[in-house]
Amino acid sequence: MLGVTDIVMGVAQSLSLIRFKDIFDNPFIASSPKDFWNKRWNRLVSHMFHQLIFTKMSTKKFEQPTNFARIKAGLLIFAISGLFHDLMIAAATRTITFELTVFFLIHGMIVALEATYRTGKFKSDPTGINHIICNILTVLFFTTTGRLFLSPILRQQVFLRIAKQF
């Protein structure tokens, strides 16, 4: 899917002579789930959620945002993302399982834990061999939880159902 997006964006940029912001930033080299979701995957939607929900919920006028407010806002964003993905699958299959919502909530909890407990010298992005180890662990996490994301799509044959409409 990344390749298709890149091709469409490239054609649109060539025709309009305008440089668009890249939607993805090497998501496969993410060093953690937080790095993946905040900096590398679908940056357009991430920025939109940050502006519309996260910033407004996590800060009050003239006050510093609390960690609890940030976690609450972040989990709401992941819940909305999960429900949105479940509704897209339900629109194509007329079946809703909420597996995608569970997938996003698990990822939201992991990102919240990482934001809360990754402090001190571990706050900065890892480098060298530590980045490689973190990348492998991140890929293993996504591979393990990815079944929740892919199962309803494959079980309901979403792509075949969509293709039959054309």
The 10s digit of each residue's pLDDT in 81-98 is: 999 999 999 998 888 999
Average pLDDT over residues 72-88: 95
pLDDT at 37 over 80: yes
Task: With beta carbons less than 8 A apart as the criterion, state whether 27 and 36 touch.
Answer: yes
Mean pLDDT, the chain, integer: 88
Instruction: Tell me which DSSP letter residue 19 carries.
Output: P
Rg (CA), the chain: 18
pLDDT band at residue 55 using 50, 70 and 90 as cut-offs: confident
Please name which of 58, 98, 90 lies closest in space to residue 76, comparing C-alpha atoms: 58
Structure tokens at 7: 């091709």
Please name which of 2, 20, 43, 45 lies closest in space to residue 11, comparing C-alpha atoms: 20
Q: Fill in the amino acid letter for 28.
A: F
